[in-house]
Amino acid sequence: IYNIFAFSLHDKKLYQITNVLGGAFQPAISHDGKQLAFISYHATGYELHLMKMDPNTDSNQWTEVEIECVEPPIMAVAAQQFNKDLNTSSNSKNNYPIHPHTRWR
């Protein structure tokens, strides 16, 4: 589910600011930084929402989220899990000849 998050430069914390079942898309902050507009999706279609951007006025809206850094990258972890090399050229069963490129006529 796609939701909208905010990162606080002041306290270096990540906050989830929407919790929409169908997802929250296309966020836009007002020029004064006090409101957030976004599109949500429901069974009946898309809806436009407008909400305040102040975590101090509505603490239920902003939920702190733990930042997790995955090391090593996920593809390397998957490769280790299945004992496979992700280099497809070495895993290829077919050896195809290499030819210079010619224009299609």
- The per-residue pLDDT for range 13-55, each reduced to its tens digit, is 888 998 888 899 999 999 998 999 999 998 899 999 999 887 7
Q: Where are the domains of the chain?
A: 5-91
* DSSP conformation letters of the chain: ----EEEETTTTEEEE----TT-EEEEEE-TTSSEEEEEEEETTEEEEEEEE--TTT-TTT-EEE-----SS-HHHHHHHHTT----HHHH-S--PPP-------
Instruction: Judge if pTM exceeds 0.85.
Output: no
- The per-residue pLDDT for range 66-81, each reduced to its tens digit, is 877 655 555 555 666 6
